[in-house]
Amino acid sequence: MIMYQADLYATRTYLRDLLERSTTAQGLAWLDQQLLTLRDEQAGEEDLYLAFSAAPRYIGKERLQLSPAQARLADLIRHGFDPSRWTAAQTARTLLLLSLPYRQAQAFYSQIENLFSTADMGELMALYAALPLLPHPELFCARAAEGVRTNMGAVFEAIALDNPYPADYLGEDAWNQLVLKTLFVGKPVYRIYGIEKRSNPRLARMLSDYAHERWAAGRTVSPELWCSVGPFLNETTLEDIKKLFAQPNELEQEAAALACWQSDCLPAKELLNAHPQLKARVEQGEITWHLIGNKALA
């Protein structure tokens, strides 16, 4: 397994800078004192629990305002890291986690796990979103898989959307469950980091079966579903794509064209050639899964 470890000093500096625009001087003074306390090897778990719980009261819940340069820097600090939808409290809570002594991997893991076991919804959101930034990230695979199974919508979003941890660490079964559940609950698939990189044949079959179930029930299918099917088109799923091309909905036609373009299957290439205008738009970058996802939400 490839380890993806963010530089802790750079991450802490970056998050602290973001907070300067999103909270008060008094809030920052409170946070700096908590960070200093938690860095002490003698600090107790109660200090962490109290600070983690109190962060919204002192820091506030204002959404972060990232400049384009700050957004680019986030991805340099940790590939796929995107705090553009984070709040000030969430950022402060992440800084608290990153201030803990971490040299003893099991002790660090136990502290984070204890937080998970007592966390409310807001705290869970912060914990799951922070996973790609934590030391010893490989220890939290089971915890991430547990997040995929949650019934709390906002918590599921924290692990599934704009979070590079699942793509980098989840096993295939948990990953496939994440993608299928994102579609089932109507969340934007294009915000799943690594969605195209982690496509696999079993997921393609599951998604095709899911589409057939919805069609049989007279329900619509998100055009984003076909993102993970395109690379594995075969005789069976190609019939699904033909059905999309025949729909009056432009988004479904665009999804069909993009799925064919992703495929190395000769019949898929021939099918795409039969729709030259859509093929030209795909080749010119006018049709992407990101754009399809945005249109589907409009």
pLDDT of residue 298: 75
pLDDT in tens, the chain (298 residues): 566 788 999 999 999 999 998 999 999 999 999 999 998 777 778 899 999 999 999 999 999 989 999 999 999 999 999 999 999 999 999 999 999 999 999 999 999 999 999 999 999 999 999 999 999 999 999 999 999 999 999 999 999 999 999 999 999 999 999 999 999 999 999 999 999 999 999 999 999 999 999 999 999 999 999 999 999 999 999 999 999 999 999 999 999 999 999 999 999 999 999 999 999 999 999 999 999 999 998 7
The pLDDT assigned to 2 comes to 60
pLDDT of residue 3: 61
Which pTM value belongs to this model?
Answer: 0.94
DSSP string for the chain = -------HHHHHHHHHHHHTTTS-HHHHHHHHHHHHHHHSTT--HHHHHHHHHHHHHHH--PBP---HHHHHHHHHHSTT---TT-BHHHHHHHHHHHTS--SSHHHHHHHHHHHHHH--HHHHHHHHHHGGGSSSGGGGHHHHHHHHT-S-HHHHHHHHSS-SHHHHH--HHHHHHHHHHHHHTT--GGGSTTTTTT--HHHHHHHHHHHHHHHHTT----GGGGGGTGGG--HHHHHHHHHHHTSS-HHHHHHHHHHHHH---HHHHHHHHT-HHHHHHHHTTS--HHHHHHHHH-
